[in-house]
Amino acid sequence: MEDLKFEALAKTLQALENISARTQITQMLVQLFLQTPPQVIDKVVYLVQGRLGPEWKEIPELGVGEKYIIKAISIAFGASEEAVSKSFKATGDLGEVAERLASRPRRGLAGLLGEERRELTVSRVYDALVRIAYAIGEGSRDLKIRSLAGLLSDAGPTEAKYLVRLVEGRLRVGVGDATILDALAIAFGGSSELRPQVERAYNLRADLGDVARIIATKGVEELQRVEPQVEIPIRPMLAERGRDAREIMEKVGGRAIAEFKYDGERAQIHKRGDKVIMFSRKLENITLRYPDVVEMARRGIKAREAIVEGEVVAIDPETGDMRPFQELMHRKRKHEIERAVKEVPVKVFLFDALYVDGRDLTLEPLPVRREVLESIVEPSESWEIAKYKVVEEAEEVEKFFLEAVEQGAEGIMVKAIHDKSVYTAGARGWLWVKYKRDYKSEMIDTVDLVVVGAFYGTGKRGGKLSSLLMAAYDPEEDMFKTVCKMATGFTDEELDRMNEMLKDKIIPQRHPRVDSRMKPDVWVVPHYVAEVLGAELTLSPIHTCGLNAVKEGVGVSIRFPRFVRWREDKRPEDATTEGEIVEMYRRQLKKVEEGEQA
Ligand code: ATP
């Protein structure tokens, strides 16, 4: 099979480490993709992001321990472990240690091989990394060391450096999905104008490698034919927030349906025969957490193949009332699931059907999807269609909202039902509008921000990371831009947990996808999302979110931010966007001005 030299990939990774402009990164990736034989493009796409497949596939993470890597380096290059450890201590970078040793005259395994060295290809590296990642139990330690040493002994300096970075799970290159989509559009479609088509395929099949392979082997035309497939998650359709019933009715274009907005966990349920798989809002495979829902779906979906969506809600077993979504957290701990199934039972409220027995429903308007949903769902006590009502007037919306809140829902979702009310996978738009109870009282809504850095505390909190540098997401530049430094809202327990969580996310320098003027004590890989409540928004010379959007040279920041809770169901790219923050600031300004005039 045709393959790509691993050297080409390693060189690109090296070049990417030194650039931060998105257009340049895209250009580099285009060059790389064009050199790549189509059969291995998926592997190249995964490796560029430092992984072995889409996140939802649950391939064990790379992240081989330092000790193993030191051993492998020592075997490969015939240097003693002590010497390798010593240079590691001096440089703090095992990748560089390997790079240096690989550029010397070869000893060790590499020396023995001499002229016999086999060129490294992307497939060989990828396959070995997969073996390394999956190895568990007895003998796995040796296997990991041997496989890595084998690769290193065939590696040139740059290759060695990036092999080590990959197995450490610490690629210092931050290429987001959005940038890969752009690069694919340019490389195979000739221009970024094709981005929407590439993106649609990705939204229907959330596997960048898969999409890359389709476009590289079959051409861009084939993208039109991409349909949802059972067992591959579809990126969820998202709602805009509404504040006012009248505005909401206008946005959804008049007559609409209003549904209860349940406060639970979103689940995309895939069924084929007896097999059921569930994906979360951020497309994690959550099947094992809900053995009860799997059973409900088996019995309650009258179709051979189906992809439906619903909200899983915790129920009080005594009263049958809905409980807050936090109760579902018990389902996260493997050993507690069995007990949780009994103590915190759940109900499922279904609200959409995306694919049924060979029929792609995503391009059908909502009334058609709902009709299909109702035709395949066999309701039972814990498995039913979300409660809804057809609404035409703002007053009806208000009334239904109060009814929903009264019954323990978080509010309502108002959804368009006109001809164009398709399922917009992966996109937020005004076809669905959420109307939640907390908007009415608070001065500003909570926002979801990403941790990008942290600061050590003083006094009682000395030596512990106790405040966080938080950022919003800018989808245009695919960057995280800082909004505030958050130090309140943590209990001591929460703080300890946070220090644990952050441990393996700390990096020696600013992550390339972070834009910050502030320098925290430690930088953190954008990974964790927290819900944050603030007192108000202000202009700020320190933060980069909304820089120049309202006023030249300053950004928008949140005053008195307070930690509310972790949003483990969100990816960093799902955080509140820079645009939303700026919009909130403008709205607040308007309110203040109106208040002053009154
Ligand atoms: P978003 O998902 O829009 O980024 P979020 O995760 O903060 O925001 P919400 O703002 O609370 O969530 O609203 C959207 C979520 O509401 C959906 O992702 C889904 O989990 C949930 N939901 C509950 N009931 C419904 C319903 N009837 N239709 C659609 N979604 C619903």
Beta-carbon contacts of residue 10 (< 8 Å; ≥ 6 apart): 158, 159, 161, 162, 163
Of the pLDDT bands very low, low, confident and very high (cuts 50, 70, 90), residue 442 is very low
Q: What is the CATH classification number for the domain harbouring 343?
A: 3.30.470.30
Co-location of 406 and 383 in the same domain: yes
Q: Is the pLDDT of residue 113 over 70?
A: no
Co-location of 112 and 137 in the same domain: yes
Please compute the mean of the pLDDT values over residues 194-223 and round it to a whole number.
93
Please compute the mean of the pLDDT values over residues 317-331 and round it to a whole number.
83
The catalytic residues are 261
Within-domain flag for 55: no
Ligand 1 centroid to residue 133 C-alpha, Å: 34
Test site for ligand 1: of 238, 438, 439, most ligand atoms within 8 A of the Cβ: 238
Ligand 1 atom closest to residue 569's alpha carbon, by position in its atom list: 6
pLDDT at 37: 96
Within-domain flag for 383: yes
Co-location of 395 and 317 in the same domain: yes
Within-domain flag for 56: no
Ligand 1 centroid to residue 424 C-alpha, Å: 14
Ligand 1 centroid to residue 373 C-alpha, Å: 19
Ligand 1 centroid to residue 421 C-alpha, Å: 17
For residue 132, give the amino acid letter.
Answer: I
Test site for ligand 1: of 262, 435, 532, most ligand atoms within 8 A of the Cβ: 262
Q: Classify each residue of 44-71 as buried b or exposed e, where b means 16 or more C-beta atoms within 10 Å of its C-beta.
A: bbbbbbbbbbbbbeebeebebeeebbbb
Nearest CA to ligand 1 atom 19: 266
Q: What is the CATH classification number for the domain harbouring 488?
A: 2.40.50.140
Task: Compute φ and ψ for 5, nearest 5 degrees.
Answer: -65, 135
Residue 121, token pair as written in the block: 């290809």
- Alpha carbon distances (Å) from 462 to 310, 465, 502, 562: 45, 8, 16, 20
Nearest CA to ligand 1 atom 20: 266
Nearest CA to ligand 1 atom 31: 261
- Alpha carbon distances (Å) from 317 to 314, 343, 346: 9, 7, 9
Single out the residue in 439, 464, 493 at which a domain terminates: 439
Of the pLDDT bands very low, low, confident and very high (cuts 50, 70, 90), residue 443 is very low
Dump pLDDT digits (tens) for 342-394.
Answer: 888 999 999 999 999 999 999 999 999 999 999 999 999 999 999 999 999 99
Co-location of 332 and 201 in the same domain: no
Nearest CA to ligand 1 atom 2: 238
Ranges 221-235, 387-401, 583-597: which has the least confidence: 583-597
pLDDT at 94: 94
> How far from chain centre, in Å, is Cα 590?
34
> How far from chain centre, in Å, is Cα 291?
24
Residue labelled with tokens 């923050």: 581
Task: Compute φ and ψ for 448, nearest 5 degrees.
Answer: -110, 115
Q: What is the CATH classification number for the domain harbouring 19?
A: 1.10.3260.10
Please compute the mean of the pLDDT values over residues 244-270 and round it to a whole number.
95
Number of Cα atoms under 13 Å in the Cβ half of residue 138: 0
Ligand 1 atom closest to residue 415's alpha carbon, by position in its atom list: 28
Within-domain flag for 229: no
**How many of the other CB atoms lie within 10 Å of CB of 353?**
28
pTM: 0.78
Q: Is the pLDDT of residue 598 over 70?
A: no
Dump pLDDT digits (tens) for 125-184.
Answer: 999 999 999 988 888 889 999 999 999 999 999 999 999 999 988 787 778 899 999 999
Test site for ligand 1: of 311, 412, 433, 574, most ligand atoms within 8 A of the Cβ: 311
Co-location of 527 and 577 in the same domain: yes
Of the pLDDT bands very low, low, confident and very high (cuts 50, 70, 90), residue 437 is low
Dump pLDDT digits (tens) for 458-470.
Answer: 777 788 999 999 9
- Torsion angle defined by CA atoms of residues 152, 153, 156 and 159, in that order, rounded to the nearest 10 degrees: -10
Within-domain flag for 349: yes
Nearest alpha carbon to residue 77 among 94, 113, 114, 102: 102
Ligand 1 centroid to residue 311 C-alpha, Å: 8
- Give the C-alpha separation, 125 to 122, whole Å: 5
Within-domain flag for 230: no
Ranges 248-257, 274-283, 398-407, 410-419: which has the least confidence: 398-407
Nearest CA to ligand 1 atom 1: 238
Single out the residue in 416, 439, 462 at which a domain terminates: 439
pLDDT at 441: 37
Ligand 1 centroid to residue 228 C-alpha, Å: 21
Domain that holds residue 207: 6-50+174-223
Dump pLDDT digits (tens) for 480-500.
Answer: 999 999 988 888 889 999 999
Co-location of 199 and 279 in the same domain: no
Question: Is 394 strand, coil or helix?
Answer: helix
Within-domain flag for 81: yes
Co-location of 276 and 199 in the same domain: no
Q: Is the pLDDT of residue 188 over 90?
A: yes
Co-location of 498 and 428 in the same domain: no
Dump pLDDT digits (tens) for 1-27.
Answer: 789 999 999 999 999 988 888 899 999
Ligand 1 centroid to residue 448 C-alpha, Å: 14
- Give the C-alpha separation, 409 to 130, whole Å: 44
Measuring from each residue's beta carbon to the nearest atom of ligand 1, which residues come in under 6 Å? 238-239, 259-262, 266, 281, 311, 351, 386, 413, 434, 574
Q: Is the pLDDT of residue 201 over 90?
A: yes
Co-location of 348 and 252 in the same domain: yes
Q: Is the pLDDT of residue 595 over 70?
A: no
pLDDT at 42: 97
Q: How many domains does the chain have?
A: 4
pLDDT at 484: 94
Co-location of 471 and 545 in the same domain: yes
Co-location of 86 and 219 in the same domain: no
Q: Classify each residue of 541-574 as buried b or exposed e, where b means 16 or more C-beta atoms within 10 Å of its C-beta.
A: eebbbbbebeeeebbbbbeebbbeebbebbbbbb
Ligand 1 atom closest to residue 281's alpha carbon, by position in its atom list: 18
Co-location of 212 and 268 in the same domain: no
Ligand 1 atom closest to residue 239's alpha carbon, by position in its atom list: 3
Q: Is the pLDDT of residue 110 over 80?
A: no
pLDDT at 440: 38
Single out the residue in 398, 416, 439 at which a domain terminates: 439
Within-domain flag for 303: yes
